[in-house]
């Protein structure tokens, strides 16, 4: 009998549909990690959430930091005083029963806005358009412009305000100064030549400007990016 050698069948690797490791588990393809989703900007949040959780607390804190008590502040969906018409309003009552209403024509922070002001025990006597020239509406801008208007009304004790054009400390800045019981008479660009903005630099430059106005008792100031020395004479 003729002995036949066993036939050995060799399969090409290309014919294998599933490649398995020596342990029998399949080698899965490498997955590309997903990019982290950036949280939405505060200004992109729904109108009520933005006003109630961000604008109202920020405005209340900013007013109280000037030494004025906030007696009541809330969001209202109702009839606008004086001119009528239903709209969303941020109503605020501060010390000496002074009140103001910041009105939004639509449920969007970029909509047309109006501010109304009323002295103690009186109906609103001032109705003005609000933020009509700004291309972009941000939380810091809304708060700073309300403070600017209240300061112009002599309702808050701020004699100076630094405005940031954007929600960045490196953005263009402006400083306004007002003598006691008067409207701001000085408007100046602030920190325009500095390449880097730091906390000590911001503080020292404000003190330097107030000293130049002879509002504080420092006759000279020495400052650097790391240390600040205020000499009182």
Provide the residue ranges of all domains of the chain, joining segments of one domain with +. Answer: 41-156, 159-233
Helix axes 139-152, 56-64, angle to 10 degrees: 40
- pLDDT tens digits along 150-181: 988 888 865 677 888 887 888 888 888 876 55
What are 7-18's pLDDT values in tens digits? 555 454 444 444
CB 115 within 8 A of CB 130: yes
Beta bridge partners of 164: 173
Instruction: Assess contact for 100 and 115: CB atoms under 8 A.
Output: yes
Number of DSSP helices (H) and strands (E) in the chain, helices first: 4, 10
What is the share, in percent, of the chain residues with pLDDT greater than 70? 76
In tens, the pLDDT along 128-154 reads 999 988 888 999 999 999 998 998 888
Extract the tokens encoding 28: 């899965």
pLDDT tens digit sequence for 183-225: 677 888 888 888 788 888 888 888 888 878 777 654 444 554 4
The residues facing 101 across adjacent strands are 91, 116
Q: Running DSSP on this structure, what letter comes out for residue 113? A: E
Confidence (pLDDT) at 3 = 55
Phi-psi region of 55 (alpha: psi -120 to 50; beta: other; left: phi over 0): alpha
- Reported pTM: 0.58
Terminal Cα distance for the chain, rounded: 123
pLDDT at 19 over 50: no
Whole-number pLDDT of residue 22: 45
Q: Return the residue matching tokens 């240390």.
A: 227
């Amino acid at each position: 009998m003729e002995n036949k050698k066993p036939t050995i069948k060799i399969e090409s690797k290309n014919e294998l549909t599933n490649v398995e490791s020596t342990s029998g588990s399949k080698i899965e393809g490498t997955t590309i990690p997903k990019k982290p989703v950036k949280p939405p900007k505060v200004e992109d949040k729904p109108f009520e959430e933005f006003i109630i959780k961000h604008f109202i607390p920020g405005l209340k804190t900013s007013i109280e930091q000037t030494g004025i008590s906030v007696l009541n502040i809330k969001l209202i969906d109702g009839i606008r005083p004086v001119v009528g018409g239903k709209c969303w309003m941020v109503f605020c009552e501060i010390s000496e029963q002074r009140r103001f209403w910041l009105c939004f024509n639509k449920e969007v922070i970029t909509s047309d806005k109006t501010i109304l002001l009323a002295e103690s025990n009186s109906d609103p006597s001032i109705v003005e358009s609000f933020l009509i020239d700004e291309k972009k509406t941000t939380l810091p801008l809304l708060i700073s412009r309300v403070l600017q208007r209240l300061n112009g009304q002599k309702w808050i004790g701020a004699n100076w305000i630094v405005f940031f054009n954007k929600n960045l400390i490196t953005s263009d800045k402006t400083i306004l100064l007002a003598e006691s019981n008067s409207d701001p008479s000085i408007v100046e660009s602030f920190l325009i030549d500095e390449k880097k903005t730091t906390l000590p630099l911001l503080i020292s430059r404000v003190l330097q400007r107030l000293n130049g106005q002879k509002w504080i008792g420092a006759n000279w100031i020495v400052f650097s990016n790391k240390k600040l020395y205020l000499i009182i004479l």
